[in-house]
Amino acid sequence: MTTSTGIWLADNPLLFSLPLLLFQIVVVFIFTRISHSILRRLSIPIVISQIIAGILLGPSCMGRIKPIERILFSPRSWEQLNTISLLSFMLFLFLIGLKTDLSMIPKAGRKAFAIAICTSFFPFAIIVLTGFLLKSSIPLRFKQRFLITNLASSWSMTSYTVVSCVLADLNLLTSKLGRLAMSATLITEFTNLFITAVIGSYLLGSKGDSALMGVTSMAAFLGFMAFLVFVARPLTILAIRKTTPEGGMLDEACFVGVILLAFVCGFVSELIGYHATMGPFMLGLMLPGGAPLGVTMVEKLERLVVGVFLPVFLASAGLRLDLWTLGDRVEEWMVLFFYLMIGVSAKFVGGVVPCFYCKMPMRDCLAIGLMMISKGIYEIDSACRWQDNRVSSSLLFFILILLERLFCVDIIVDRQLFTVLVLAIVVVGGGSAPLVKHIYRPEDRFVAYKRRAIQFLKSNSELRILSCIHGQEHVNGMLTLLDSAHPTALSPVCLYALHLKPLAGRAATLLAPYTRHRTPFDASAASDTDHIFNAFLQAEQLYTGCSILPYVCISPYASMHEDICSLALDKKVFLIIVPFHKHLAIDGSVSAPIPAIQAVNSAVLRFAPCSVAVLVNHGLAAESSAFRAGGIPHAAVYFFGGPDDREALALGLRMAEDSSVGLTVVRFRLPNATMEGTEERLDERMMEDVRIRKSDGSRVVYREEVVKDGEGTVAVIREISVRFSLLLVGRGDGKETELTSGLSIWSEFAELGTIGDLLASTDFGGRVSTLVVQQQRRVAGNGQPESVRMGKAVKNEVDEEDD
């Protein structure tokens, strides 16, 4: 009974396997989405949300209604539901392995190895020792089934899959602690797999009549690994090179071939005595991630597997659970829950102690401990196999059997104990992730201990700029700004050119120097990154005081700002330049906005350890060679007052040091304005430098515009803006003043400030490129904002001069 003839012929479609399966998938999808939309506000991982959705559908809640239980999840449907679940789990682990960067293992330091060892053996030893000391209190059925032994072996392991999924949900994959935790868990995974194979083969040989069975088992495992390394990987790479163009996606034949290869590896895994998920996971580890293989697999497969089918696997665990069984034999299941919590606590201590010994901050130590106790899909799979009467294959379980000279026996977990296991997974997994989110804030390290602002840069000092590029359309504008920064031998400029690429098809991020093609190369074989940096490296040859250091960043958009700020902090950069998320050409055409880039810009403005400028390019250096002939003949600074405007003015004065650049400083003032406040006195001091340069005969023009309100400001800007090729303006603190009254209600992009948003708007009619500047706001010391301390320091200097 596979398909139904329909309700018009008196058939009930839910009595047939295919319509019932489709109906179950749809119901599970709806419930998992609803539960996660609610729980994600609490930073609960999506895996835990999907388990909770299964609990709501199962016998603990809605399943107690007999018609729903009989129609929706009848026993006859479990076989096909489990098959779909395990198939999706197998493909999911293949994708996880494909996105994993194995170079994390050789790069891992002693800290990662120490964490891996302590979080594996310490909780195992504590659980076993506690069981030995309290063996009289362990129920007889636990002893007969070796439940505590399996519990110690399973819950002492930290799954790489679980940790990577939790960190991805929390946007911590690129963080320092996130990489440390993933390295430790990856070491644990490989150690567990290979030593388990050795000990398992030994036990298999000692159990039989001869050692031949054990030797054959080990040979089969090593042969399978050799096939993956020396056959599957080279053939896949060769097929990709022959059929896939540079920068393209896999063709259909290669895509289907890789999927079939994953299925074959799953079958071979079952054939040689391992779980079907081991082969696809190892195949994914061996194949190269990123483009084009990883990108294609993620693009074509991940949404279907992770979004539709995998929730069925996780929800099925909740469907097996029955909270009403906890009313019987309370003392026995409380013993199991006690040992679960003992193991979790010991694992937490095992993660904290090595970090504390390495003198890491306490908050980081606690965060690592919480990451290492994460529970999720690996523990759910183990619990389901226990209930299905499958044997644990963990390394530590085999070690314990070897020490006690015992043979492996079937482990049976009834519904009550299964309920306890799943509830423990929900409690620990759902509680650790929000605590990590609360304790660990990677942005806290992006705090400079010195002033990183152009306003306070000493004369003739090296100006370090970090230029962010998302695509080739951003190159010319950045090169024009480089030319206007006036790099000379006496006033050098060091430009860090950072090509930002979204992470796809891999889990590990990349932030590394670009080392290829410092000489002319074949343009037909070059990538987008090659074209971008070739333009920068050619521009470097035009200046004696300019050094350009190219970098590549591959990271998710959600955490891309961390790599930008980290590089700026490490290289002691004074200015970060980011492109506006909408590319506007001089002919008025506007490219499609990219919200992800807008989010990156907003995060950089919030957490940057130095000053930041947002470039709104309205055709600045439209021609590729414009920067060579002086792309900015005349720039203007609109000065309203405040630290951001002072930083914009300092940058403008730096540009004016080039004899080919003319600078006009337009100061907007109210009638009868006074200079009584601290900020006003700081502004006046900046104006003195402008007046001095004007009197020295430089190409600096100073003018004042007296306006009464925002309407007058708009009128002046509309009249004079067309005379310039670049406008510099401070972002401001978001507070409306009399000079900008009534303008904030029309602002569309908060990252540009009121005036910057006005100049960037195509409705305003402007066609002039704009550089919106924000002065450094994050600096260590006394818990005060950067602008406050800078203001106090300069105020004291002004007071001394007045005395």
pLDDT in tens, 753-763: 888 888 887 66
Is 372's pLDDT higher than 60? yes
DSSP-assigned states of every residue in 357-385: HTT--HHHHHHHHHHHT--SHHHHHHHHH
Q: Which of 131-145, 173-187, 626-640 has the lowest mean pLDDT?
A: 626-640
Q: Which two tokens stand for residue 694?
A: 């004007």
Task: Identify whether the C-beta of residue 321 lies closer than 8 Å to the C-beta of residue 267.
Answer: no
Three-state SS for 405?
coil
Q: Which two tokens stand for residue 458?
A: 């000493």
pLDDT of residue 90: 93
pLDDT of residue 631: 56
pLDDT of residue 628: 44
Is 519's pLDDT higher than 60? no
pLDDT of residue 775: 92
Q: Which of 137-141, 258-262, 509-513 has the lowest mean pLDDT?
A: 137-141
Q: Kindly state the DSSP code that residue 749 receives in the 8-state scheme.
A: -
Three-state SS for 468?
strand
Please, which pLDDT band fits residue 448 given cuts at 50, 70 and 90? confident
Q: Bigger pLDDT: 314 or 449? A: 314
Strands 546-555 and 510-513, bridge-based pairing = antiparallel
Any alpha helices (H) in 492-550, and if so which ranges? 528-540
- The mean pLDDT of 132-152, rounded to a whole number, is 73
- The whole-angstrom separation of Cα 743 and Cα 760 is 13
Strands 611-616 and 769-774, bridge-based pairing = antiparallel
Say which residues have a Cβ less than 8 Å from residue 288's Cβ, sequence separation at least 6: 233, 237, 294
Is 527's pLDDT higher than 70? yes
Taking each helix axis as running N to C, give the angle between helix 110-133 and helix 176-207, from 0 to 180 degrees, rounded to the nearest 10.
Answer: 50
Task: Identify whether the C-beta of residue 316 lies closer than 8 Å to the C-beta of residue 85.
Answer: yes
pLDDT of residue 474: 87
Using alpha carbons only, what angle is made at residue 601 by residues 448 and 467, rounded to the nearest 5 degrees?
70
Please, which pLDDT band fits residue 38 given cuts at 50, 70 and 90? very high
Q: Kindly state the DSSP code that residue 736 receives in the 8-state scheme.
A: -
pLDDT of residue 621: 55
- Preceding amide of 556 cis, omega within 30: no
Strands 769-774 and 700-706, bridge-based pairing = unpaired
φ and ψ of 716, to 5 deg: -65, -45
Is 485's pLDDT higher than 90? no
- The whole-angstrom separation of Cα 95 and Cα 90 is 9
Is 691's pLDDT higher than 60? yes
pLDDT of residue 713: 87
- Burial of residue 343, with CB atoms counted within 10 A of its CB: 0-12 exposed, 13-18 middle, 19 or more buried: buried
High-pLDDT (> 90) share of the chain, %? 30
Of 539, 779, 388, 430, the closest CA to residue 793 belongs to 779
Is 745's pLDDT higher than 50? yes
Count CB-CB contacts under 10 A for residue 172: 25
Q: Bigger pLDDT: 31 or 725? A: 31
User: Mind listing the pLDDT tens digit for each residue in 632-669?
Assistant: 778 899 998 889 999 999 998 888 887 778 888 998 88
- The mean pLDDT of 119-143, rounded to a whole number, is 83
Is 214's pLDDT higher than 60? yes
Q: How many H-runs (helices) and E-runs (strands) does the chain carry?
A: 31, 11
Three-state SS for 303?
helix
Instruction: Tell me the C-alpha to C-alpha distance, in Å, between residue 697 and each of 652, 693, 796.
Output: 16, 7, 31
pLDDT of residue 412: 60
pLDDT of residue 585: 55
pLDDT of residue 427: 94
φ and ψ of 715, to 5 deg: -65, -45
Structural element, H or E, at residue 20: helix 17-39
- The whole-angstrom separation of Cα 673 and Cα 671 is 6
- The whole-angstrom separation of Cα 141 and Cα 701 is 90
- Burial of residue 447, with CB atoms counted within 10 A of its CB: 0-12 exposed, 13-18 middle, 19 or more buried: middle
Please, which pLDDT band fits residue 694 given cuts at 50, 70 and 90? low
Please, which pLDDT band fits residue 567 given cuts at 50, 70 and 90? very high
Question: Which pTM value belongs to this model?
Answer: 0.81
- The whole-angstrom separation of Cα 175 and Cα 444 is 11
DSSP-assigned states of every residue in 408-461: -------HHHHHHHHHHHHHHHHHHHHHHHHH--GGGG--BSS---GGGPPTTP
Task: Identify whether the C-beta of residue 428 lies closer than 8 Å to the C-beta of residue 45.
Answer: no
Residue type, 453: A
Instruction: Tell me the C-alpha to C-alpha distance, in Å, between residue 578 and each of 504, 575, 619, 643.
Output: 22, 10, 16, 19
| Mean model confidence pLDDT for the chain | 82
- The whole-angstrom separation of Cα 152 and Cα 426 is 18
Please, which pLDDT band fits residue 416 given cuts at 50, 70 and 90? confident
317 — alpha (psi -120 to 50), left (phi > 0) or beta?
A: alpha
Residue type, 490: L
Is 479's pLDDT higher than 70? yes
- The whole-angstrom separation of Cα 43 and Cα 585 is 41
Count CB-CB contacts under 10 A for residue 677: 11
- CA count, 13 A, side-chain hemisphere, 718: 11
Buried b (16+ CB within 10 A) or exposed e, 271-310: ebebbbbbbbbbbbbbbbbbbbbbbbbbeebbeebbebbb
